[in-house]
Amino acid sequence: MKGYRGLYLITPDQETDPRELARQVAAAIRGGARLVQYRNKGENVARRAAQAAALLQVCRAAAIPLIINDDVELAVQLGADGVHLGRDDADPASVRARLGPDALIGVSCYASLALAQAAQYHGASYVAFGSVFPSPTKPRAVRAAPELLASASRTLRIPVVAIGGITPQNGGRLIAAGAHMLAVVTGVFAQPDLAAAARAYASLFPDGDPLDEPIP
Ligand SMILES: Cc1ncc(COP(=O)(O)OP(=O)(O)O)c(N)n1
Ligand SMILES: Cc1nc(C(=O)O)sc1CCOP(=O)(O)O
Ligand SMILES: [Mg+2]
């Protein structure tokens, strides 16, 4: 997953109409989102499948990868680009075996560099640390110090994602610390103009096409 830098958009955990959700995500992609995660913890299987399918269309049209949170079967059924796994989800090694070498597999590491090293060893494509700030989406999340991003980006070979309460105001300091991607829900989806909100994050990253810049 070399070269990935920029805004990592995560959908809000809501029963939004699939076409409306697709419209919102398309606007954020126009604003500069580089990776999209479909995250809906709801029980409505049909709604989840419909939302994810609508997002896949939008992402394919823009050549942006779509990651599915938690649900490996949905990712397989849909032909999505990958999955994001946390401590309550399947283990990265078995998911890598199931999805093959090209799948994008993200792993939540909370505040633990040891978890990140293990995830990399077991085939993770990227690791995520958080919450780096208090998160409106997940107020009870474990907190991870931004300084952890520096040791992670120094010692790992895969991209480092920061998540939790990230705004255009506090995001720059995370990039300076070593984050390759900023994962955001509220900072984009709670704004009236999603393209402008995404642009505010995208502009925190160095100039040029972030996908052209290999991660050292
Ligand atoms: C990019 C990214 N980072 C962290 C998470 C959180 O994953 P997890 O701990 O499994 O919690 P849920 O999102 O499943 O509630 C994420 N989804 N994406
Ligand atoms: C899904 C998720 N995981 C987190 C973690 O810390 O692992 S924080 C989070 C929600 C991020 O949303 P917002 O941008 O609204 O804070
Ligand atoms: Mg999970």
Task: Tell me if 77 sits within 8 A of 42, measured CB to CB.
Answer: no
pLDDT given for residue 63 in this prediction: 96
Position 4 confidence tier, pLDDT thresholds 50, 70, 90: confident
Residue 125 CB–ligand 1 contact under 6 Å: no
Q: How far apart are CA 145 and CA 185, in angstroms?
A: 19
In the DSSP assignment, the letter for residue 70 is S
Tell me the per-residue pLDDT of 8-51, one tens digit each, with 9 for 90 and over.
999 999 889 999 999 999 999 999 999 999 999 998 999 999 99
215 within domain boundaries:
no
Tell me the per-residue pLDDT of 40-89, one tens digit each, with 9 for 90 and over.
999 899 999 999 999 999 999 999 999 999 999 999 999 999 999 999 99
Specify burial of residue 51 (Cβ count, 10 A radius: 0-12, 13-18, 19+).
buried
Q: 103 alpha carbon to ligand 1 midpoint, in Å?
A: 17
Task: Tell me if 184 sits within 8 A of 201, measured CB to CB.
Answer: yes
Range of the domain at 121: 6-205
142 within domain boundaries:
yes
For the CA of 130, the closest atom of ligand 2 is: 6
211 within domain boundaries:
no
Tell me the per-residue pLDDT of 153-165, one tens digit each, with 9 for 90 and over.
999 999 999 999 9
216 within domain boundaries:
no
Tell me whether the omega of the peptide bond preceding residue 151 falls within 30 degrees of 0, making it cis.
no
Q: How far apart are CA 210 and CA 195, in angstroms?
A: 17
Q: How far apart are CA 115 and CA 206, in angstroms?
A: 29
66 within domain boundaries:
yes
Q: What is the CATH number of the domain that holds 135?
A: 3.20.20.70
For the CA of 183, the closest atom of ligand 1 is: 1
212 within domain boundaries:
no
pTM: 0.96
Specify burial of residue 79 (Cβ count, 10 A radius: 0-12, 13-18, 19+).
exposed
Residue 143 CB–ligand 2 contact under 6 Å: no
Q: How many CB atoms lie within 10 A of CB 173?
A: 14
Number of structural domains (the chain) is 1
Task: Tell me if 60 sits within 8 A of 33, measured CB to CB.
Answer: no
65 within domain boundaries:
yes
Residue to substitute in 185, 189, 191, 201 for testing ligand 2 pocket (most ligand atoms within 8 angstroms of CB)? 185
Residues carrying an active site annotation: 39, 108, 138
214 within domain boundaries:
no
Q: Is the complex ipTM more than 0.95?
A: yes
